[in-house]
A and B are shown apart, each in its own frame.
Chain A
Amino acid sequence: MADQDTIELVKTIEVDKYKYGFETDIESDYAPKGLNEDIVRFISDKKGEPQWMLDWRLEAYRSWLHMENPTWAKVSFPKIDYQDLYYYAAPKSMAAPKSLDEIDPKLLETYAKLGIPLKEQEILAGVRKQGEKSMLDDDGNEVITGRVAIDAVFDSVSVVTTFKDELKKADVIFCSISEALREHPDLVKQYLGSVVPQGDNFYAGLNSAVFSDGSFVYVPPGVRCPMELSTYFRMNAKNTGQFERTLIIADKGAYVSYLEGCTAPTREESQLHAAVVELIAHEDAEIKYSTVQNWYPGDAEGKGGVYNFVTKRGDCRGARSKISWTQVETGSAITWKYPSVILRGDSSRGEFYSIAISNGKQQVDSGTKMIHLGKNSSSRIVSKGIAAGRSDNTYRGLVSAHRKATYARNFTQCDSLLIGDQCGAHTVPYIESKTSTAQFEHEATTSKISDDQMFYCMSRGLSQEEAVALIVNGFVRDVLQQLPMEFMAETQKLIGISLEGSVG
């Protein structure tokens, strides 16, 4: 039953019905097409960056020139001409920094259309203007939203960051990375590239050279960030690559929850998105990073769509630190993304929860890496892949324990569901255990849900299918509840569906 529901529901999520495919007609400032050292200088100059930053970028650019496009992922796409792209595009009206009131109304309109509230007072009051829809109220019902500080990134620049003053009171720094470079250069210099170095991989190298904007978060010791932080990425300009860089640091004992959302207009040509996200958790700190990735997936024939080549990595630097990735992947023509955690600190913890849905001609190659270096470190991976249409959905993950990572613990579960016989679902896990005390478990079957739980549910009259769905849903709901309201509504719509069926 649940299976059938899922199949029906996923079928209705047709790629052609991409909701956010509209284009904002706004004049943009472009850097000249192509990539060379001058473009890197141009971007750095536009941002008014210090010399060391420019040097850092150039170093990245020079090492990128010697790097090769990775070919190991199970995705195929025509060769990208890196000289045929704009590496910088900014709305013209954004020339000077402005307050919210002065922002181009077209931009505000765009975000309103996307359901991203940029006006603080409105969110505070929980009131919306007529006709201004939120992500929650598709039926026009008013819903009081939680408070979320948002950094809105439009093409290459950050448009606005909300709730800055209130965050300042808590000593939390939340701003665009360009601003951080101006105001907190020492922090940026200390941490930038310390998790994903310039030469880490092809796309990270490219990003390091030309990244234009992104978010910067620093939570000082012992501070629990008073609200959810969020970035909303919007790609608008044509033939533009978006390269944003996010850097989040949680100092000793700090806590922060961060969300990321992405959309792009419907275009016939493919667009490139190569982001880098670095997370650093010090002793006893915790970072939760959630993504709802809904880039334009291309049409049913696979024309257009965003190439999402992202490097995300967290570093549990201190003892008892924790990093958790939650991702919902529904968009992009191609996804190449492996949010990872380096479990350096003793007793540190890494988590990865993923739901990847592919349809049409989408190709998803995603997964995680859990690298256990510290004693008693633990990690958990739960990945659910759903492939429909003519898509390919691959989970690729690595769990490794270093010799010194005694008593490391990992639990991995990845389930796949195929809908139709034109698609493919693949699992490519790597397990490397170099210490006998490490306990690694990898499961890709559904029959291993605790027999006790099954028995309990079934003895209350649920069928096996219902019982399994209930248990898995219950578990996932736990994860989803970590997401703030804004994301939950839309996400649930997609996930509520998906999970039931993945238990086949």
Chain B
Amino acid sequence: MNIALIKTPAEEAFGISLPHRRMEEWRWTDLRARIDRPYPAHQNTVVAKIDVDRLIASSPFAKIKTHRIVFVNGSWDQAHSNFTGLTFEMGVPTSSAIDDPLIHLNGAIEPAGLTLRFESNMDVLVEIMHITTKGAARSMALRNCIEVADGASATIIETYLGEGDYVLSSVMEFEIGLGARLDRVKVEHESASATHLSHVVTSLAKDAKLNEFTLTSGGALNRQNGTYTFVGENADAKIAGAYLLNNKQHADTRLVVDHAVPHCTSRETFKCVMDDHARGIFQGKVIVRKHAQKTDGKQSSHALLLSEFAEFDAKPELEIYADDVVCGHGATAGDINLDHLFYLRSRGIPEAEAKSLLIAAFVGEAFDNVVHDGLRDALVNYAANWLQVRKNV
């Protein structure tokens, strides 16, 4: 339904209309209402090196040695980047025509970006980092394209860090070639008042493998879209995510896994922890096209609500047109199991600690998708810190 609406100040500033709750995919995240004032693009902000250094140091992966490409306030910061041996071109990749409000928004802000190509097995971690320093309310955009050539393998880390009030739009395209492998880890740790909007477009060729994990913990408002299309047979996608939300944080993930060809496997595992007034949303859709026989698609989303005001909404969708498939989804929402808590307390573990243990175990399952030991340990530490802060409040 297209209703003629009066443009909001933010829409005036962006020059496009924002999605609203009358649109099915946006029923729980009314971007039009949530972005309630203009965030002008391309504001000049004075960047102090010390701020950038501090933010880089606050990354959960600060201690891990990575090849790093750093963007600060929406433009490339060569001084902080370290990219010896990588082949990439600066400049925004030509956009594939996808009709999505977030991609339109990204285009409206005029993004910075690069095309990065992995020709062979890269035994290094490549980190794409976006840093936002304190400044006037503004919007920034990034658009990157990562190509993993046939038979190659790569590990990509995306880190989003910031301070202040801003809107960040990120569009990532991943092309995984024949028999190629991509490990992707994304950490969204934006400033507490930021809006993080991202869209990921991934295609998997024959025998390709994707291992993905997203941690959503920062920002006031999060919306992350992902589309994953199997274009070749026998490909395998593992997509995992965790939410660690508190205060009034809002995180909405919508994934579309499109089994366009036979014999592919997909797994989605989302573990969402919401405290205080936080609201977590998971919308996952698995499409199995007509001839995509022998598809194996499973989806699970689990929520742990730690406060009586927390909220979780889920819409795990299946759309299946082939008969010889194994597809399923599971979704649960609930509190910490009192029996589990009782068990731990009866063993002399104080309540707060027992709760932390149970929460850590709950999100831990999603971390298992991270193959690299160092990265996984860093994420576990991040969760432990989050729990420590929670316990001390």
Give me the interface of A with B, judged by CB distance under 8 Å. Answer: 71-72, 403, 406, 416, 418-421, 423-448, 504
Q: Please, how many angstroms separate the alpha-carbon atoms of A432 and B279 in the complex? A: 10
Closest to B312 in A: A433
- A418-B323, A435-B305 given; 18 more Cβ-contact pairs under 8 Å: A406-B308, A416-B318, A421-B290, A421-B291, A421-B293, A424-B320, A431-B331, A432-B312, A436-B308, A437-B334, A439-B332, A439-B335, A441-B331, A442-B314, A442-B332, A443-B328, A445-B328, A445-B329
Residues on B facing A (Cβ under 8 Å): 1, 24, 290-291, 293, 298, 303, 305-335
20 contacts between A and B (CB under 8 A): A403-B309, A416-B320, A418-B322, A421-B293, A421-B324, A424-B320, A428-B317, A430-B314, A431-B331, A432-B313, A433-B333, A433-B334, A435-B305, A436-B335, A438-B305, A438-B334, A440-B332, A443-B328, A444-B330, A445-B328
Note all chain A residues with C-beta closer than 8 A to B291: 421
The minimal Cβ–Cβ distance linking A423 to chain B, given in whole angstroms, is: 8
| Cα–Cα distance between A430 and B321 once the two chains are bound (Å) | 21
Say whether B333 contacts A438, CB under 8 Å. yes
Q: Nearest CB to that of B322 among chain A residues? A: A421
Q: What chain A residues lie within 8 Å of B307 (beta carbons)? A: 436
Q: Which residues of A contact B334 (CB under 8 A)?
A: 433, 436-440
Q: Provide the residues of chain B in CB contact with A443, threshold 8 Å.
A: 328, 330
CA distance A447 to B303 in the complex (A): 21
B331 touches A442 (CB 8 A): yes
Complex Cα gap A444–B319 (Å): 13
Taking a contact as CB atoms under 8 Å apart, the answer to whether A425 and B320 are in contact is yes
Tally of A-B Cβ pairs under 8 angstroms: 112
Q: Which residues of A contact B293 (CB under 8 A)?
A: 421
- Complex Cα distance, B363 from A349, in Å, reads 32
Q: Is the CB of A436 within 8 A of B313?
A: no
CA distance A424 to B290 in the complex (A): 8
Q: In this complex, what residue of A is CB-closest to B329?
A: A444
- Bound-complex Cα distance A72 to B331 (A): 23
Contact (Cβ within 8 A) B328 A441: no
Q: How far is the CB of B314 from the nearest CB of chain A, in Å?
A: 4
Q: Which of B298, B311, B324, B327 contacts A433 (CB 8 A)?
A: B311
The majority secondary structure among interface residues of chain B is: strand
For A504, the closest partner residue in chain B by CB is B326
A448: chain B residues within 8 A (beta carbon): 330
Chain A: CB-nearest residue to B335: A436
Q: Known: A72-B24, A433-B303, A437-B335. Is A421-B323 also a contact (CB below 8 A)?
A: yes
Q: Could you tell me the distance in whole angstroms from the C-beta of A398 to the nearest C-beta in chain B?
A: 10
Alpha-carbon separation in the docked complex, A443 to B321 (Å) = 20
Q: Which 6 A-B pairs have the closest CB atoms?
A: A445-B328, A436-B305, A418-B323, A442-B331, A433-B333, A431-B314
Task: With A421-B293, A435-B305, A436-B305 as known contacts, state yes or no: A426 contacts B317, CB within 8 Å.
Answer: yes
Residues on the B chain within 8 Å of A424, using CB: 319-321
Chain B residue nearest in CB terms to A407: B335
Q: Report whether A436 and B298 are in contact in the complex, using a CB–CB cutoff of 8 Å.
A: no
Asked if B311 and A431 make an inter-chain contact with CB atoms under 8 angstroms apart, the answer reads no
Contact call B313/A430, Cβ cutoff below 8 A:
yes
Determine the distance from Cα of A419 to Cα of B324 in the docked complex, in whole angstroms: 9
In the complex, what distance in Å separates the CA atom of A201 from the CA atom of B289? 32
Residues in B whose Cβ lies below 8 Å from that of A434: 311
Beta-carbon contact of A436 and B323 below 8 Å: no
Assess whether A403 is in contact with B313, with CB atoms less than 8 Å apart: no
Residues of B near A439 (CB, < 8 A) are: 332-335
Chain B contacts for A432, CB-based, 8 A: 311-313
Other-chain residue from B1, B305, B324, B328 in contact with A444 (beta carbon distance below 8 A): B328
Partner pick for B319 among A71, A406, A426, CB 8 A cutoff: A426
Bound form: Cα–Cα A420–B332 in Å:
31
In chain B, what residue has the closest Cβ to A395? Answer: B318
- Which A residues touch B327, using CB under 8 A? 444
A442–chain B nearest beta-carbon distance, Å: 4
Q: Report chain A residues within 8 Å CB of B314.
A: 429-431, 442
How many Å from the CB of B86 to the closest CB on chain A?
Answer: 42
Complex formed: what's the CA distance from A440 to B303 in Å? 9
Residues of chain B within 8 A (CB-CB) of A444 are 316, 318, 327-330
State whether A440 touches B322 (Cβ < 8 A). no
Whether the Cβ atoms of B329 and A442 lie closer than 8 Å is yes
Complex formed: what's the CA distance from A14 to B378 in Å?
Answer: 60
Chain B nearest Cβ from A298, distance in angstroms:
21
Of A403, A445, A446, chain B has the most CB atoms within 10 Å of the CB of A445
Q: What residues on B are CB-neighbors of A438 within 8 Å?
A: 305, 333-334
Residue pair B306, A436 in contact (C-beta under 8 Å): yes
Query: Which residue of chain B has its CB nearest to the CB of A445?
Result: B328
Q: How far is the CA of A177 from the CA of B308 in the complex (A)?
A: 44
A residues less than 8 Å from B335 (CB atoms):
436-437, 439
Q: Which residues of the partner chain A approach B333 to less than 8 Å between Cβ atoms?
A: 431, 433, 438-440
Least CB distance from A371 to B in Å reads: 14
Whether A442 and B330, one on each chain, are in contact in the complex, defined by CB atoms closer than 8 angstroms, is yes
> Would B315 and A428 count as touching, CB distance under 8 A?
yes
Q: Which residues of B contact A423 (CB under 8 A)?
A: 321, 323
Which residue of chain B is the closest to A441 with respect to CB atoms? B332
A440: chain B residues within 8 A (beta carbon): 331-334
